[in-house]
Structure 1
Amino acid sequence: MKTIATAKITTDVPAQAFFDRWADTATWPQWNTDTEWVRLDGPFRAGTTGQLKPKGGPKTRFVISSLIPGREFTDVSTLIGARLTFQHLVTEEPGGLTTVSVRVTITGPLAFLWNAVLGKGIANALSGDLARLETVARETRVTA
């Protein structure tokens, strides 16, 4: 397994606000600038499959491999000869703060190829995507 990128923020936005945005996959393009659209084949829970369309790339199948509300959301995209994993961990900190960390890894016999194709773009975008997610989660919480 190769780690492509990691990002972390600590914020006053509650964990649930992040999970609400992750569960509403139609809003992913608002904070993930490389994503054209995302569709789930069922409810936002472990085992549910879906499809996403990266901008300028082919449709990609994925599965929610782990979902622990308020703590973890992990999705795995299936590529030819590789699996691309996005692990999102949320930790509630003292004083009403929340830490959100994202780790992107790749495995499989063609992981080296996909890392060469996708790795730099993912690494360059990850921190910005997390910052935009925080903004969207904050705005949604304020208007809800």
Structure 2
Amino acid sequence: MTFDYSRTVSTSASPAAIWALWSDPSTWASWDPAVVSVSLDGDFVQGASGTMVLTGGIEVPVTLEIVEPGARYLDQLVMGELVIRIDHVVAAGDSGAEVTVSTLITGPGANDIGPMVTADAPRALDALTAMAENGAV
């Protein structure tokens, strides 16, 4: 089974301001309501891994599969047989940045858990862009 979700927003924040928040996992809990904490074993680079604690105390391994500094990162969470890949892309827009976050979930029950996993995505994007617009980097 596969579940796919994507959302794009425009912001007056610069791509660099968005990237500054994305590339600092210590900020993730401040803009993503599903995240309690993230710790990486090392720098924010492709191949880095660590642990993400989600709301409800659920701890999952996280790996940065792709990191293109200033533009994109893709993280992967493994929860049993479910694999959650979240792709984050930022690009220059007409008066700031275009921010796209896409979630692909594969495995048994993906269609059932997908809406729960992505339920906070709009709030997370709104909070991320607001923080970047307000210079909270």
C-alpha separation in 2, matches of 1:27 and 1:68: 19
Cα distance, 1:106 vs. partner? 1.2
Q: Are 1:56 and 2:52 counterparts?
A: no
C-alpha separation in 2, matches of 1:139 and 1:93: 18
Cα distance, 1:114 vs. partner? 4.4
Q: Which residue of 2 aligns with 1:28?
A: 28
C-alpha separation in 2, matches of 1:112 and 1:138: 39
Query: Which range moved further: 131-140 or 44-53?
Result: 131-140
- Runs of at least 5 residues in structure 1 that lack an aligned partner in the other structure: none
Identity of aligned residues (%): 23
Cα distance, 1:43 vs. partner? 0.4
Cα distance, 1:57 vs. partner? 4.3
> SS of the counterpart of 1:140?
coil
In structure 2, relative to structure 1, the CA distance for the partners of 1:97 and 1:140 (3 Å cut) is: closer
Q: Are 1:9 and 2:4 counterparts?
A: no
The size of the alignment, in residue pairs, is 137
Q: TM-score, normalised by structure 2?
A: 0.90
- Runs of at least 5 residues in structure 2 that lack an aligned partner in the other structure: none
Task: Note if contact 1:4-1:122 (Cα within 8 Å) is conserved in structure 2.
Answer: no
Q: Which residue of 2 aligns with 1:128?
A: 123
Cα RMSD of the aligned pairs, angstroms, is: 1.8
Q: Which residue of 1 aligns with 2:89?
A: 89
Cα distance, 1:2 vs. partner? 2.6
Q: TM-score, normalised by structure 1?
A: 0.86
Cα distance, 1:51 vs. partner? 0.6
Q: Which residue of 2 aligns with 1:113?
A: 109
